[in-house]
Every structure is written in C-alpha cells, then in structure tokens.
Chains A and B, each alone.
Chain A
Amino acid sequence: MSKDESTSSRATIAGWYDLFSRGARDWLRHNEKVREAVRSHLPDAIAGGDVLSGGTKTIRVPVRMLEHYHFRLRSPEQPQGVGQGAAKPGDTLGPPGGSPASGKGGGGRNDGGFEFLLEFKVDDIVDWLWEEMKLPNLRARVGRAEETDWIREGWDRHGARSRLDRRRSMRESIKRRGVQSADSPRFTDDDLRFRQLTRREQPATQAVVFFLMDVSASMSDRDRQLAKSFFFWAVQGLRRQYRHLDTVFVAHTTEAWEFNEEEFFKVSGSGGTVTSAGLKKVREIISARFDPGRYNVYLFYASDGDNASSDHADAEAALDEIAALANYAGYLEVSATPQSRLNSECGALFKALADAGKPAASFAISRFEDIWDAVRHFFQHQAAG
C-alpha cells in the first residue's frame, strides 16, 4: 500500500537493516558499469564537456542511467491510456504534465531517466585514452641529447665508505670463510665491495610545448573553445611522457604575446592575422629559454587558416627555422565550416613543411567530436615520424 504525499521526514531505525543495504550495493555496481561504459566511449563522453577550468584534476561527465533491456513492443504511433475525471470526448487536456499514463506501483518498468554526474580523474582518463586509442608513447630524441647522469654500474674493491655494499661484502665474507678454517677473521679488506658509479648519456627527458593560437577577429568563441579543448588533451598526453614538461602559451593577431595558461584561454583579440608574428615570438622564446639540445620542442598551432598573403614568405621562413629545432610541429585548423579543410594559407605552410620531410602534420576539425581524431592523428604521426 502506498500513497502520494508531499512531505516525508520519517524516523528510521538504522543498524540491523543497514547490514544489507542491497539497493546501495547494486547502485554502486551500476555506477561501476557506467564507468566502464563511459570509458569505452570516452572520447564522445567528454569531448563536449567544459573540462579545462584551470588546472582541474578531475572532470565531471554527465551520464544517463543504464537501461536493463527487455523485449518491448514498438511504441504505438498514438500512445493511449485510460484516464479519470471530469472530461468528455473531444476535450483537449494539453501535454501530459510529467506523469503519463503509466500508473504507479509497477516498481520500475520505466527504468532510469535521470541524469547524474560522475567524476573522473584526468590522469585516469589519459591513461585509458592512450590504451583505448592505442596511442604510442612519444619518441624522445636521443641522438642529440647532452644530458648526462650518474648511474650505478658494477662493484669494486675500493671506494668511498658511503658506497659500501654490505650485502655483497657479507656474501664475499661467507664465501671466503667457507673455504678457510673456522677461526678466520669475519671480515678482511678483500671482502669489501663498493658500488661503482659511471657517467651515462641520457636522452633528454625535458620537453617544452608551444601552444600558439590565432586570436584574431575571425576566430569565433567556438573556434577558440575547440582549440582550447584540443590543447588540453595534447598537454595531458605529453605530460604522460615527460617528467618535466614546460608549456608556453602564445597568442597572436598581427602581434604576438606570451600568456600564462589561465589568461591564454580567455584572451580575445581583434584585427588581422599575421602568422609570422606568432612564429617569430615562438622562435624568440626557444632561443631565450629552451636550448633545443636539452629540450624536446613541440609546437602546436591552432588557427582558422587565414593569413595575410603578404605574410607568406615571412611565415615560411619562421616556420622553417622552428622546424629545424623542433621534434614536431602540428597544425590544427579549426573552422565551423568543414569544406575548406586545410585549403588555407596556413594549411599550405605546414603542408610544404611535411612535404619537405620535416616532422609536421595538419588536421582540420569543426566539431568537438573531432578532437579525438585530431589527438590520434598528431600523436600517431609523431610516433611514426
């Protein structure tokens, strides 16, 4: 028996009955399944989300409850039911206010229907994504590395006290005493073993990523949002690979400025586009702060593709210079209209670079759903290149 009512603050007897809170247990299991489902459709699930609110460690993904499916008849073209009350044939009752003719007491034939938020750790997501998309880990440059490090290698009978290997020394002592008489000394100098260090060249594990964004008037808010989402996941991917990842954010119109991460995503400019201004700024920062011998340098450039044609030669020269120093240069074209994909001034610049055998790639996106394809494209290309 039940009734409808509007207040419900009832005392509960906790304790014994809580021992089998089966509802909560099965709900948690449901949530686990949602996580699994979200995980396998992760790109779709989080592409649209506003994931970048300043250094967040977690993101919230709106999900629907899972439905446990049953065989059911197709919905009739005209749903019908029996109602009750003061109404006569021909009356129109307006759209049913939330409670259609399902009655009550059925106990959940209409499963679900609620949306709720699940929280995911960004780190987990990146791990899953890399597994899911079978993305390779990036190649660090080894050949040009200049970084060296001390590593342990072998043992010697001489060395500093601090590097005495007690376990090894003990083993030597036991070996010796095994073949000598019982009253031989416990330790002699010959037993002692010291760890040796040696210098070894290490691949540079430092990296710097330049995010260069065109913020001229032609870039709409949505374009910027697309670029921003892509940048976010690109940073996550690179952070996965490098212990020390520096990020540099540069925005340009006809001039270029460096920003910190937070400001960068808020910046909006007006006026024309001179790509070379941005590229030159990047070049400047590399020379001033990031020695290409010690840093793996990545550049991602997001733009709607327009550039003043008078700037072509300058931009080409600046890009060539950067390409000579960088591990990789990626160009992301964002535009609401997908037809002109990469057929732009900037698209031509990067295409020329790739044609010349340099590690460069381009990708055009127009929707949030495309971001994952872009990430996959750049990272796979980079690993293969």
Chain B
Amino acid sequence: MPTPHIDKKWRELLPRIEELAARAGLKYNPVDFEAVPESFMMEIAVYGLPVRMPHWSFGVRYISQLIQHRMGHSRLFEVVFPGNPGHAYLAAGNSLAENMLVTAHVLGHADFSRNNMLFRSSQQQVGDHIVEQAASHARQITMAVEEHGLKRVELVLDAALALEQHIDVDRRVQRERYPEYQAAKPEPPDDAFSKRFAALNPDEAARDEGPKLKRAAIPPHPERDLLWFIANYAPELEGWERDIFLAVREESFYFHPVHATQIMNEGWASYWHARLLREADFLPQGAYVDAIKCHSDVVRPIAGGDKVALGINPYHLGFSMWEDIVERDGMDAARRIMQEDDDVSFVRNQLNAELAAKLQLFRFGADSSGSVKVLETDLNALHEVIVGPKYNFGAPSVAASHVRVDGTLELAHDYKVDGRGIDVERTKKVLEYVEKVWRRPVIMHTVDSHGTEIALSTPADSK
C-alpha cells in the first residue's frame, strides 16, 4: 500500500473539522481519506468505482474524459464512496485550502449517504463494502476471461452493461425465482350458496376439479428487472455468465441512489463545506479565502464570462435549495427532507417559485436550425424538465413481457409512460447484445414517430 500522501498540516486539522461537523449534527460512518494522482482520480470518476470490471466502453469514457481534461474543461477534487468505513479519494494536487474544503464536502456526503433512505436501503441490501465488492467482481471477470476467453466474456458484459439501468429498485437485490405454479384456487367457501350451486349441476362442479397445479407464466407480470430476469430465465445461460449478470446488477443497485439523489447529495455536501468552513475559525486566514474562492468556482451556475447557461449545475441548484430550506424551515426540517427525499420529490416539493425566480431558471427549446429560444419560467414546467432524466434510473421504461413457446423473449416499452417511442437503431444494437446471451430471438415492442405500434427485432443475419 502506498503511504497516503496527504499534507501533515491537513492531518492536524482533520480532527478539528470532524469535531465541528459532529457539533453541527452530522452523523456519518468513519471515512478513510487517501490522496491519489490525478490520473487515478479520473479513472475513479469514469468507472464510478475505484476498482471495477474491465470493459472497452470504460476506455471510451476514459479517453473522452482525458481529452476534455487536457483541453482544460474540468478538474476533479475528490470522489467519495459510501460504506463503513467510507472511502474518500482526494486529488494529490489539491492545495491545503482546497483539501480543507474538500474534507468538509466529503463529510457532508458521508452524512448524506448514511442517513438518506435510498442509500440506506441500498446499503442494507448490497452491503456497506461496495468498494471491496466491486474489486472482487473485477477479479471474478478477470478469472472468467482466463477461463473462457476475452471474446466470450465481452459478449456477456456487452449485454449486461447495456442493461445496467434496468433493475427494479422496488424489489430487493436478493430475489426468489417466480413460483413455478399458479396459486391454487381457493376452496369454495362452505356456505349455503356454494352448496346450492354445487347441487345445481354436479357434473360441472366435478369437472372443475381438474389438475390442481397449473404452471405459472414466465414472467407472471411485466418484469422490469431485466438483469435479474435474464440471469434467472435465459434458456441456456451458463453459470459464469449468470454470475456476471448478477455482479453488474449488484453494482447497479449501488449506483441507483447515487443517480437518484445527485442534486440533493451534491447540494448537501456543498452546503456543509460552505458552513463548516465559515465556522472553522482555526483556519489560517489565507487558506480560508482560497477555500471560499474554490467554493464559488464549484457552485458557479454559469461559466465565467457567460451571461446564460444552457443547463444547470447540480451543485449550485442543490446548494441554493438547501440554503433556502434551512433559512425557511430550520435545520431539523432540512435533515428530515435529506433523509426521506430523492431528487424527484426534492425538486418538486422544495424548488418554489421565488427561488426559481431568484436563480433565474427558465425552460428553453431548440428548433431544427439549432437556435435556442427561451420558452417560459412556469414552475411546474421547470420541475418536470429538471426531474425528467431522473425517472427510472434515466432509462426508458422497458419490461420483459412474455417468453414465447420457442423461447423468443418479448420486451415491451411503456411508451405511454415515457411519452414517445424508443430509438430504433440503438435498440436493435442492444437487442443484438441481448440475443447473444438469451440465445433465442429478442423482440422489442414500442411505437414509431407516428405513434403506431411496432416490433423491433435484430437483423436476421446477426444470428
């Protein structure tokens, strides 16, 4: 193990910041801090976990990030993972002032991830050692590559990672298979009506006996957890392939709260770094000023020099909302909201008209020529556009609806919920991935641009 390369001065100040945080009411699991080189920071950000399974798609993201980074678009200060203990990675290039800010920020995240309901439920199910679990998945995949070859493992990962958003967070990580038989019909109640009914036509009553057990349809209801469904019901899936699907699925359950609470979580951490720093009278004056400058860069809504931003900075929005809530209703109310909400309810319930006006939020639309028009500032419209990408883990609502006798898997896209059809070309490609592991044809029902129902399938020659 490397020696954590963190400034000695910082080590001295850490307990004092933690003390401030505890006094302010933050409740968090202990956090392990580690300073890591920038290249490693970038990998963590790209993979979403410090050590994660290999897949070429991460390489694409990595290079895109690297190019953006080299072109000077962004800089990462920290990445933090919930758990017990939590893990925080600080960029080795951070100055002392930046690290003080970052530490306070990390404690805010740690408080959030220990108390927010979605995080708690996910950690109860996945366990609070996601960093270690992901590393063990990575090892599992590496071993599968050794045993079965890169090509075969890659085919499985292509499919599993393409479906990574398709889990059902309303059900648990550990799920039983569907019952094999339909529930038996309840015995007719022993009352006067039933007796008279049976006496009416004894033949009919006898015929009704039939075989008691009937096989249940698979799936018995539209199944949204595609990773689980394929892992359990793909006709010829091998054991190691199933394990890969389940590994990806487990990580998805971990990623879900991260996705579903981004505005709240970043806002919460930003609120706390600003507040703890204000209260940290032990900081050298220069460091305080530097840290506050860094803070204003991070929560800056609009890039320097611009008047208008087409997009919102979640740090800024979340930060402004938490300040507003604390000022309006007090810290207890804020903590309750932090524990119970996700971004959808948070934005809908807490982003009010005054704040939206103060933040100068507006809805815009782009026409075919690419010119952008400011459309409205109506609060409900703003809510819906902001939370739109948050529904259903940011993915179209797709469920496994039926398995035909020949093994063909039918997927149904709930276009009524999503408001429009699914991207045809991409869908065909994903169906190709899935077909390689399902090993039977796979079909997707959706609508075309005119709202007519269509069924997509993979091209015949891909088999």
Contact = CB atoms under 8 A, between A and B. Distances in A.
The 10 closest A-B pairs by CB, nearest first: A26-B59, A23-B62, A85-B308, A10-B93, A27-B59, A108-B61, A68-B57, A69-B429, A95-B370, A30-B56
A90 B374 CA distance: 5
A81 B421 contact: no
6 contacts: A10-B38, A22-B51, A69-B426, A78-B365, A83-B312, A87-B362
Interface residues of B, number: 111
DSSP class of B's interface residues: helix, strand, loop or mixed? mixed
A2 interface: yes
Given A10-B38, A17-B40, A72-B396, 11 more contacts: A3-B298, A8-B70, A21-B39, A26-B54, A26-B56, A26-B58, A30-B56, A33-B56, A69-B426, A93-B310, A93-B374
B303 to A, nearest CB: 6
Interface string A76-101: 10111111111111111111100111
A80 B375 contact: yes
A180 interface: no
Interface string B292-305: 00100110111100
B42 interface: yes
A23 B371 contact: no
A103 B390 CA distance: 13
A102 B77 contact: no
Contacts of B297: 3-5
Interface stretch (B22-30, B157-165, B205-213): B157-165
B373 A73 contact: no
Nearest to B394: A109
B186 to A, nearest CB: 40
Interface string A53-88: 000000000000111111111111011111111111
B150 to A, nearest CB: 8
What is the size category of the interface that chain A forms with chain B?
35 or more
Contacts of B298: 1-3
A321 interface: no
B113 to A, nearest CB: 15
Given A80-B365, A84-B361, A101 B311 contact: yes
Contact of B303 (A4, A68, A94): A4
Given A30-B60, A68-B57, A96-B372, A78 B366 contact: yes
B307 interface: yes
Interface of B: 2, 5, 35-40, 42-43, 45-48, 51-52, 54-67, 69-70, 72-78, 91-93, 102, 105, 150, 158, 161-163, 165-166, 262, 266, 269-270, 294, 297-298, 300-303, 306-316, 359-367, 369-377, 382, 385-386, 394-396, 398, 413, 418, 420-424, 426-427, 429-430, 433, 449
A93 B372 contact: yes
A88 B362 CA distance: 8
A178 interface: no
A18 B40 CA distance: 8
Which of A73, A82, A96 has its CB near the most chain B CB atoms (within 10 A)? A82
Contacts of A104: 74, 311, 313
A86 B307 contact: yes
B226 to A, nearest CB: 9
A154 interface: no
Contacts of B395: 70-72
A45 B43 CA distance: 31
A158 interface: no
Contacts, number: 303
Contact of B56 (A29, A86, A89, A107): A29
Contacts of B360: 84-87
Contact of A2 (B77, B371, B433): B77
Interface of A: 1-8, 10-18, 20-30, 33, 65-76, 78-96, 99-105, 107-109, 111-114
A88 B374 contact: yes
A82 B64 contact: no
B430 A69 contact: yes
Contact of B373 (A1, A21, A92): A92
A41 to B, nearest CB: 15
B26 to A, nearest CB: 17
B373 A29 contact: no
Given A3-B77, A4-B303, A93-B374, A108 B64 contact: yes
B371 A85 contact: no
Given A71-B396, A93-B373, A100-B310, A82 B386 contact: yes
A74 B40 contact: no
B372 A74 contact: no
Contacts of B302: 84-85
B165 A70 contact: yes
Contacts of A21: 39, 43
Contacts of B270: 1
B162 A70 contact: yes
B56 A81 contact: no
A150 B78 CA distance: 75
B36 A13 contact: yes
B454 to A, nearest CB: 12
B382 A82 contact: yes
Nearest to B93: A10
Contacts of B300: 3-4
A55 B63 CA distance: 32
A3 B75 CA distance: 6
A6 B161 CA distance: 33
B433 A89 contact: no
A74 B60 contact: no
A378 to B, nearest CB: 27
Contacts of B314: 103, 105
Contacts of B449: 74
B158 A68 contact: yes
A84 B54 contact: no
A13 B5 CA distance: 9
Contacts of A67: 60
A233 to B, nearest CB: 27
A84 B366 contact: no
Given A96-B372, A108-B61, A108-B64, A1 B362 contact: no
A227 B300 CA distance: 58
A81 B64 contact: no
Contact of A1 (B35, B36, B77): B77
Contacts of A79: 365-366
Nearest to A70: B162
Nearest to B101: A1
B95 to A, nearest CB: 11
Interface core residue of A11, A16, A102, A103 (most chain B CB under 10 Å): A103
Contact of B311 (A73, A83, A107): A83
Contacts of A94: 371-372
B420 A105 contact: no
A22 to B, nearest CB: 6
Given A11-B93, A13-B5, A83-B310, A69 B372 contact: no
A63 to B, nearest CB: 12
Contacts of A15: 2
A26 B310 contact: no
A20 B73 contact: no
Contacts of A105: 262, 266, 314
Contacts of B77: 1-3
B427 A71 contact: yes
Given A68-B158, A68-B161, A85-B360, A96 B310 contact: yes
